Amino acid sequence: MGKAQKVVLAYSGGVDTSVCIPYLKKEYGVEEVIAFAADLGQGDELDAIKRKAISAGASDSIVGDLVKPFIEDFAFPAIRANALYQGKYPLSTALARPLIARKLVEIARELNADGVAHGCTGKGNDQVRFDVTIGALAPDLKLITPAREWGMSREETIAYGEKFGIVPPVSKKNPYSIDLNLLGRSVEAGPLEDPFEIPSEDVFDITSSILHAPDEPEMVDVLFENGNPVAINDQKLDPVSIIKKANSLAGKHGFGRLDIIEDRVVGIKSREIYETPGLLLLIRAHQELESLTLPADLLNTKFKLERQWADLVYQGFWFSPLKEALDGFINCSQKQVNGTVKIRLLKGNADVVGRKSKNNSLYISDMSTYGVEDKFNHKSAEGFIYVWGLPSRIWSWINKSKN
């Protein structure tokens, strides 16, 4: 691949991506670096980030507000899919990557750039997600990944940046590596690298410690339409506001903390702490509403495909034929997922305590009751079980007597 002249760089304002700017120009002979920073609701000072890119030598610095598509087009499908990687992690970081990569490609097209770049290192999942997405959307664009190639230590990176006026972070650096967006926080490294080390309270930021969470329980009603959360406690809210509201309610009660060992795409096990209060709350409520409104065979099949959906998203295949086909299945399954789930928040727990669906509940009291209203025909159970258990009895007749 020849040299790229004009490159759009995914920019976060951190040391690595800042150093990428002079590095791309000097070591890769790139003429113009355009920095792109995504607003995903992380609450960064985006104007400051914008200026920082320019002072590091970017010819232009673009900030894109991606909060709405992030929630509507990435978080909501994940809720409909009950997506939990390895049964635990709700993909709060992973979901942002295909969106950033898609925007990077869009900007490159608009500006007639011939390349894109990111500052991910070679050990994480994010490089995989960026590279795979960019390859799927724009296989012709040159992809440059300086931080994966430069082989500099943190100190060397800072020293390199200082030559170009990039000021290292002044505050005494906290030991953690943190990724933050509206769906949650991911925290790793520092003392957390010992998987037996109890995370100290300074790891957390958007959820209360259960020691300080209210002593009184709080009930939360989540209303879903076609599998999408649309109201909390009878208040209709747009998707972004729903996530914010769910975050603050669940976070206040200390719900949504995870401490897990997960398997990265590159074969490494890592220990990560997550705070994803709203997303976990909404997934839990959604799962429960599906239990009420979907038949058993559909639930079982969906359960297996959900796992695969989460794997694909974790592993970088948001834009892939299999993911698209699974979306078709999942979306088709959601028409009847309408109703309300009541959750009790208390001291780090979010327990389902009620569910209802006016038009789609498959729970028929006349069938399930043990009272006098019982409409279930007990006699037909006998014939059913005769047939149901026939293979087991035949097996025993033929084989057990010979042992």
Q: Which residues are catalytic?
A: 16, 97, 126, 177
Distance CA 174, CA 284 (A): 33
Residue 16 vs 179, nearer CB to ligand ARG:
179
Query: In the numeric block, which tokens belong to residue 322?
Result: 């299999």
Residue 114 vs 179, nearer CB to ligand ARG:
179
Shortest CB 272 distance to ligand ARG, Å:
5
Shortest CB 308 distance to ligand ARG, Å:
17
Residue 88 vs 342, nearer CB to ligand ARG:
88
Shortest CB 277 distance to ligand ARG, Å:
16
Distances (CA, A) of 255 to 192, 237, 347, 349: 20, 21, 7, 6
Q: Give Cα 22 distance to the centre of its chain.
A: 32
Distance CA 172, CA 330 (A): 46
Cα-Cα-Cα-Cα torsion 372, 375, 378, 379, nearest 10 degrees, comes to 120
SS3 label, residue 330? helix
Instruction: List residues binding ligand ARG (CB under 6 A).
Output: 93-94, 125, 177-179, 186-188, 272
Residue 238 vs 263, nearer CB to ligand ARG:
263
Shortest CB 187 distance to ligand ARG, Å:
5
Distance CA 329, CA 276 (A): 26
Closest listed residue to residue 345, CA positions, set 290, 287, 278, 275: 278
Residue 97 vs 355, nearer CB to ligand ARG:
97
Shortest CB 207 distance to ligand ARG, Å:
16
Question: In what side-by-side order are the strands of the sheet with 177-181?
Answer: 177-181, 184-188, 269-275, 257-263
